Chain A
Amino acid sequence: MANGENQNPNPNPIEATPGAAARTITLKTADGEIFEVEEAVAMEFGTVKSFFEDDAVSATKPMPLPNVSGSALSRVITYCRRSLEIRSMIPPATSEDATAAEAVQGEGDLEAEKAAKQERKEFEAEFLKDESNEDVKELILAANYLNIKELLDFLCRSVALRIQNKSVEYARKFFGIEGDYTPEEEAQIRQEYAWAFEGVDED
């Protein structure tokens, strides 16, 4: 069987291909870029998952993603791939090795979990290191649209860290919003939340 990953955009839906060659799903972004994604990765996207659960036949046509740009999708795919890799580091709960000592197996799992956690931390730190605020926002919108809970959670946490203890102006600039309060209203609100403004970092 042709195990083409990139060459064969038309995986055979009738015959189940053995584990080695993963089925790929084709995604088309708002700016017309086409992405071939392994099925396992694409199923991380809640939106894609429900799309294909509803209509398995359309695995042949590229799925349109009108709210996601090519650059964002490529980052998202990178994240999900890596995330899957890390998750597979942890041996599944129902293991086939019926060894006598369950305790030993448990310890092994714990070790694997710790290692996985460490990997994840390092990977996540690297992932957003060079992203501009705009890029992060774009990623959030993409993760939200594609319904990827893990990525969205991670991104929200990172954004929260970025605006933590910064000034109101910084937050406005970060999100590109204009304050819509009159000076009097703003003064009133600052009064209401005066406790929050003691000792804020300068940007």
Chain B
Amino acid sequence: MKKRGLAENHEQEEEQQEDKKMKRIRVEEEEEEEENEEENESGFMNLDENLLYEVLKHVDARTLGSAACVSKLWHKTVQDERLWELICTKHWANIGCPNQQLRSVVLALGGFRRLHSLFLWPLLKPQSSSSSSSAAAASASSSLSSSSTASSSSSSAWSPFAPMVSSKPPPRWGKDEMQLSLSLLSIRYYEKMNFNSRGR
């Protein structure tokens, strides 16, 4: 039998109510697995998923990424979109729209985790030279599909960024940068959609 303090149950209830929308993104099977795994883990000294989530809320992006490799439980926790939402919005000073709205848009287009690793991280990490920043830009644009018009327009969208990034990465982004990254995310999403439905 699981020994659970009142505290944990309350915490769980609150979290569940807040994040029902988020959890729908995760496969339902995973939620059941969650419960089983918690039972199997040698209880006392191991942080369970909820506590792990609480800790990971405060780490930076890179640590979160390497945390995914620690174990299967950690990997599952790291997949949680809420953690990546925190990471993404940390950099956005003034979103200009309510969080809930942003959340539903980003989740529909593929989620915060993708947004971050594909479009935020390559721009945020400090670049030592403009050559490496264009390399980052090239890799980011190649992650978009191979449709010729789209990639040419996206690579031209990247080049103005190269000189800006090599000088100094802005610590906090404003609406423009945020909207750019969202646009890129949606381009990627729709390209994938088109690609699939385009019968040859």
A residues contacting B by CB (< 8 A) are 46-47, 50, 66-67, 134, 137-138, 140-141, 144-147, 152-153, 156-157, 159-161, 163-168, 171-172, 175-181, 186, 189-190, 192-193, 195-198, 200
Give Cα distance in the complex from A18 to B66, angstroms: 55
Q: Which residue on B lies nearest to A166, using beta carbons?
A: B63
Whether the pair A179, B7 counts as a contact (CB closer than 8 A) is no
B15 to chain A, nearest CB (A): 13
Whether the pair B7, A145 counts as a contact (CB closer than 8 A) is yes
Number of contacting residues on B, CB 8 A?
A: 38
B residues contacting A by CB (< 8 A) are 3, 5-8, 10-11, 44-47, 51, 54-75, 117, 121-122, 125
**Within 8 Å CB of A159, what residues of B?**
55
Identify A200's interface contact among B51, B62, B73, B121, CB under 8 A. B62
**Within 8 Å CB of B8, what residues of A?**
144-145
A169 to chain B, nearest CB (A): 9
Whether the pair A171, B57 counts as a contact (CB closer than 8 A) is no
- Beyond contacts A190-B69, A196-B65: 11 other A-B pairs, Cβ-Cβ < 8 A, are A156-B51, A165-B62, A175-B46, A176-B45, A177-B46, A179-B71, A180-B72, A193-B65, A195-B65, A195-B117, A196-B63
Whether the pair B71, A181 counts as a contact (CB closer than 8 A) is yes
Q: Which residue on A lies nearest to B44, using beta carbons?
A: A141
A167-B66, A179-B71, A189-B68 known; A160+B45 contact, CB < 8 A: no
Q: Which residue on A lies nearest to B68, using beta carbons?
A: A193
A137-B47, A141-B44, A176-B45 known; A196+B61 contact, CB < 8 A: yes
**Within 8 Å CB of A146, what residues of B?**
5, 7
